Amino acid sequence: TIEPRKQTKINMRQGARVARAALRTMLKIRLLSFNPSAAALKRFYTEVGVRQTAEGYGIDLDGRAVKTPLRHQLLVPSWSLAAAVAAEWDAQEETIRPSEMHLTSLSMTAIDKLDKTTKEEQVNDILPFLQTDCVCFQVSEPDDFVKLQRETWGPIIAWFQNKFRVELQVSCELLEPFQEAKTMNRMKDVLMLYDKPTLLGVHTATSSLASLVIAMGLIHNFISVQKAVEAADLETEYQTRKWGTVEWSHPIARTNTMAQVAAAILFIKHYRADG
């Protein structure tokens, strides 16, 4: 249960125990946040709380503040995002799986890294995805897959071109399509309008989908998370429709990607939702 932080009077012996427990908690949290792909660890807390401060909303585990790898308090600017991050911690059962805590990872990255980079550097990290965008690499056979490409990617490409007033180059050859300089410059101008936390979310969604085109459609509510993930992995979708799923493979990969992308969109939309 996510509850407000509780203030409790304790005696000296209790205080020593709390201090030792706080140190263990701090070290565990630091280990977790340093490596989001770390192996699962045993859950070491009972209650998760959201705490309001003058600087934002913090996350508490048994009344102790969660900190980032660089020892900053994990503070986010909106209650809605804080509640979602807290829910990730609360959802951990007997073990803690950092690789599944995407909002926590994004929030910590925003605190520890965004002040060390510029918006232009962030944009320059995103733009290359447009040159290798999955929707711009198409095939000319078999006919049923060509039809699926046209039905799935065609509306997204048309929306993107109309929304941002650009023309995308699409190739059916082995060589990658080369997006014109005016298209790249236009998309750079579009991305530069976003703030740093939004660009962090855009990069996460784009890299997860291997498509800036699909990611922008998702961010602007043209397509749902599920449809975006299906569109980004259209060959698997085609093979699944034709031959069925591989029980242990396709659903797991699809679920992981969907979780990453959904977290990126939630982060973008709720980072400043209260203000």
> pLDDT confidence of 252, banded at 50, 70, 90?
confident
Distance, in Å, from the CA atom of 72 to the CA atom of 221, rounded to the nearest integer, reads 33
The identity of residue 37, as a single letter, is S
Distance, in Å, from the CA atom of 256 to the CA atom of 267, rounded to the nearest integer, reads 17
Instruction: List, for residues 117-152, the tens digit of each pLDDT value.
Output: 999 999 999 999 999 999 998 988 889 999 999 999
> pLDDT confidence of 37, banded at 50, 70, 90?
low
Task: Show Cβ contacts of residue 216 under 8 Å, excluding neighbours closer than 6 positions.
Answer: 160, 163, 164, 202
Report the range of poorest mean pLDDT among 7-21, 102-116, 118-132, 133-147.
7-21
Tell me how many degrees the CA angle 103-226-34 measures, rounded to the nearest 5: 25
Task: Show Cβ contacts of residue 2 under 8 Å, excluding neighbours closer than 6 positions.
Answer: 47, 48, 49, 50, 83, 86, 87, 90
Q: What is the dihedral of CA 267, 268, 271, 275, to 10 degrees?
A: -150
The identity of residue 152, as a single letter, is T
Instruction: Check pLDDT > 70 for residue 180.
Output: yes
Strands 57-61 and 75-76 come out as: antiparallel
pTM: 0.81
Q: What is the mean pLDDT of residues 204-233?
A: 96
pLDDT of residue 247: 56
